[in-house]
Amino acid sequence: MPHSRYRTIEVAVPLPLDRTFHYSVPEALQRSIQPGVRVLVPFGRRKVTGYVLGSANAPAGELKDVIEILDAEPLFTTRELAFYRWIANYYLYPLGEVIKTALPTGINIESRRRTVTGDDGSTVIEEHFAGGGSIRRERFYRAAAEAADAAGIRGSGAAILLFLLENGETSRAKISQQFSNPSAPLKRLVERGLVTVEEREVYRDPFREDDCTVTPALDLNEHQATAFATIAAAVTAGEFSPFLLHGVTGSGKTEVYLHAIAHTLQHGKRALVLTPEIALTPQLVKRFRGRFSEGIAVLHSGLSLGERYDEWRRIRRGEVAIVIGARSALFAPLDNLGIIVVDEEHEASYKQSEGVTYNARDLALVRGKLEKAAVVLGTATPLITTFHAAQHGRIHYLHLPQRVRGLSLPETRIVDTRKLRGAAFSPELVAAIGENLAKGGQTLLFLNRRGFATFLLCRDCGHVFRCPNCSVTLTHHRAKQRHFCHYCDFSLPAPSVCPECSGTDIGLFGRGTERVEDEVKELFPDARVARMDSDTTTGRGGHARILKRLEEGAIDILIGTQMIAKGHDYPGVTLVGVVSADATLNIPDFRSAERTFQLVSQVMGRAGRGDAPGTVVIQGVSADHYALLRAASHDYEGFYAEEIAFREDAGYPPFAHLAMAVISGTAEKAVEKGAQDAARLFRAGRQALNIRAEILGPAPAPLAKVRGRFRWQIMLKARNRTELKRLLLHFQREWNPPRVLRTTLDVDPVDTL
């Protein structure tokens, strides 16, 4: 459909400015410009890339001209633009930057096409991106229909023709594997019209290495069937409906997703599946690949820019029915969306911590509303706020109260470690591991701290080794023979001398997974022990390798950080030990109890998924904390009741909306003064606008310094979101800090450190 000419347009630029700009379009470009394409425009003395939002009602005479149109096809639809606008408005972020965040990075980098000679002598056109990825174009050959009648072709030409007749369309690369020097005969075949050739872009399949066995749909049990029927009805109706699918680990949530998605595809609609970190859930992807023959795109952090862009374009062209990915997959350009699944909806990793601080779990609901889709939030441990919404009827509640196949939940004991005097293992846990080994079961040991020792102290003068750039202690990593900061790239060689007294007697205190591995090996010398944390899983497929060995029974004891807590379903695991539950409980954040309950429940969920029942031993100095007691007795509702009372008392979500302002900079005094000025501005705004909000601070952040920047924060709490928003907007307009300071406003922070 030819669209009307655009003489003047509205453009969003990816710069920290909370407004859009108008440009006039030169006559020659008027026919090819449309909303959703990028344009090069003059901006001050620079040229910047902007996004065309639509036509503008402005007199062209006073406007500057668009220099160039950068895309032939729009990058986003009007519906996606409405979504971007919502995000910009909600998170108080410039629209241009939101659009930039939503589009794949590969697109923002100038592409350069060139023709190269392939390994086999063929001509290949490659598009190169600065990020290193590239799209390959390959040639495909096919015997023409009348080829069979052809005569007079001999030798290798005839052999190739025969091969193509038998095999159908074949890529150049494959032909080269079969025949030596096929170029000249192929050329002759093409010239004579006996073979046709087509050049096509080739997508790399990110999960191509994985085998996928067909996984037929299972007959749902009664609870699953009810949940499925409710979701399916919503998909059929084509109305926005939010669901909480609350099911203990192993209750068959994923099977419900699969059925609901199959139903969605039958209705000609598409599906989006968000998962906290896809590298940790290869089994999930396998199950989808094994179930659906339709196109699936998998977006994950291991993809190069080029690969990501490949996937994005496959989705945009409608070649994909299901998209699976982490946080940023929320922006996948799927149209006709029927369902969005947010797996493990409680995970904090759905929140983007830099740039536009969006929360993909929250935005899934927003997108679902715009697209009239069903949104399924699945978890064994719902966020307190989600469960509250379900209790008040704002989200439909679906419950899977039992594990499938009548499996029981693991038997759990809590052990108070106050009397252990620093030893890693209580006699109870040691006995449990021994017994489990004896009967051939596998054990998972969980500790949410990596490295060997987490606290280094000079025994001569008491000096504590700290990072010079961050307000944290260094962690000793024995395998790497260095002390590392876990917040920046600082490290010191080990052994090192004390910088204060030159003493060499450095005490290694605290315990990370590396040390636990050591201690386990000492206690159980015959056991096959492995460790899974970000130190042992670097490189592509790092996690998958370890999990494969676990699956094959080549590991007796696996030690790990929260990586081992996620979604794995290994029937051989019959014992789970939480080495110390204190690490997460002691974090100074109002969600620390909730996080601990979630994490401990998740790890516990790994036990007893096979036919043998499971056992769990939880160690901690706060053995009587309600988060541990309730987790141990599989009592989500009991935990909820205690936690919601605390939230109401203290005025935290869901009883208040939060926003956090963080002022940072390299000069400590300037940061402190800036934070005081900012807090004063907030208080003045509150008074002037007559807003009911609590303003806490300014105070140094719990992480008072990171990468050389000092950090102060101000927390805002309000019962009314609109009022909070007005206050934040007022602040944004009036705040004019010195250039050396950086100010970030985080709406709905999930991390208050």
Q: Which residues sit at the interface with ligand ADP, rule CB under 6 A?
A: 218-221, 224, 247, 249-255, 404-405, 569
Instruction: Tell me if 490 contacts Zn ion by CB under 5 A.
Output: yes
Quick check: 590 and 655 in contact, CB under 8 A?
no
- Min dist CB 599 to Zn ion, Å, is 24
Instruction: Tell me if 23 contacts Zn ion by CB under 5 A.
Output: no
Q: Per residue in 380-396, is it b (16+ CB within 10 Å) or e — as a string?
A: bbbbbbbbbbbeeeebb
Instruction: Tell me if 469 contacts Zn ion by CB under 5 A.
Output: yes
Choose the contact partner of 222 out of ligand ADP, Zn ion, none; CB within 5 to 8 A by kind: none
Choose the contact partner of 467 out of Zn ion, ligand ADP, none; CB within 5 to 8 A by kind: Zn ion
- Min dist CB 570 to ligand ADP, Å, is 10
Determine the interface stretch with Zn ion among 25-33, 132-140, 449-457, 481-489 (rule: CB under 5 A).
481-489
Task: Please report the DSSP string for 551-608 in residue order.
Answer: HTT--SEEEESGGGGSS---TTEEEEEES-SHHHHTSSSTTHHHHHHHHHHHHHTTTT
Cβ atoms within 10 Å, residue 292? 17
Instruction: Tell me if 297 contacts Zn ion by CB under 5 A.
Output: no
Choose the contact partner of 163 out of ligand ADP, Zn ion, none; CB within 5 to 8 A by kind: none
Nearer to ligand ADP, 217 or 696 (CB): 217
Instruction: Tell me if 488 contacts Zn ion by CB under 5 A.
Output: yes
- Min dist CB 389 to ligand ADP, Å, is 21
- Min dist CB 467 to Zn ion, Å, is 3
Residue 369 phi, psi dihedral angles, 5° rounding? -70, -45
Choose the contact partner of 228 out of ligand ADP, Zn ion, none; CB within 5 to 8 A by kind: none
Determine the interface stretch with Zn ion among 232-240, 283-291, 463-471, 734-742 (rule: CB under 5 A).
463-471
- Min dist CB 256 to ligand ADP, Å, is 7
- Min dist CB 637 to ligand ADP, Å, is 18
Instruction: Give the rounded distance of the alpha carbon of 665 from its chain centre.
Output: 28
Quick check: 691 and 718 in contact, CB under 8 A?
yes
Name which of 414, 382, 457 is nearest 654 in CA terms: 382
- Min dist CB 395 to ligand ADP, Å, is 18
Distance CA 71, CA 79 (A): 19
Nearer to ligand ADP, 601 or 752 (CB): 601
- Min dist CB 60 to Zn ion, Å, is 53
Beta-carbon contacts of residue 192 (< 8 Å; ≥ 6 apart)? 150, 153
The one-character DSSP state at 392 is T
Quick check: 291 and 271 in contact, CB under 8 A?
no
- Min dist CB 405 to Zn ion, Å, is 48
Choose the contact partner of 625 out of ligand ADP, Zn ion, none; CB within 5 to 8 A by kind: none
Long-range contacts of 228-233 (CB under 8 A, 24+ apart): 228/256, 228/259, 228/260, 228/263, 230/396, 230/398, 231/256, 231/260, 231/263, 231/339, 231/374, 231/376, 231/398, 232/259, 232/260, 232/263
Q: Name the pairing type of β-strands 270-274 and 241-247.
A: unpaired
Distance CA 492, CA 476 (A): 9
Q: Which of 467, 494, 506, 678 touches Zn ion by CB under 5 A?
A: 467
Name which of 706, 733, 136, 149 is nearest 468 in CA terms: 706
Distance CA 110, CA 101 (A): 16
- Min dist CB 742 to ligand ADP, Å, is 41
Name which of 647, 644, 617 is nearest 631 in CA terms: 617
Choose the contact partner of 470 out of Zn ion, ligand ADP, none; CB within 5 to 8 A by kind: Zn ion
Two tokens, residue 615: 């056992």
Question: Count residues contacting Zn ion (CB under 5 A)?
Answer: 7
Nearer to Zn ion, 103 or 662 (CB): 662
Choose the contact partner of 643 out of ligand ADP, Zn ion, none; CB within 5 to 8 A by kind: none
Q: Which of 409, 458, 485, 750 touches Zn ion by CB under 5 A?
A: 485
First and final C-alpha spacing in the chain: 52
Instruction: Tell me if 487 contacts Zn ion by CB under 5 A.
Output: yes
Choose the contact partner of 47 out of ligand ADP, Zn ion, none; CB within 5 to 8 A by kind: none
Choose the contact partner of 405 out of ligand ADP, Zn ion, none; CB within 5 to 8 A by kind: ligand ADP
Choose the contact partner of 490 out of Zn ion, ligand ADP, none; CB within 5 to 8 A by kind: Zn ion
Distance CA 588, CA 713 (A): 14
Nearer to ligand ADP, 548 or 733 (CB): 548
Quick check: 517 and 557 in contact, CB under 8 A?
no
Q: Which residues bind Zn ion (CB under 5 A)?
A: 467, 469-470, 485, 487-488, 490
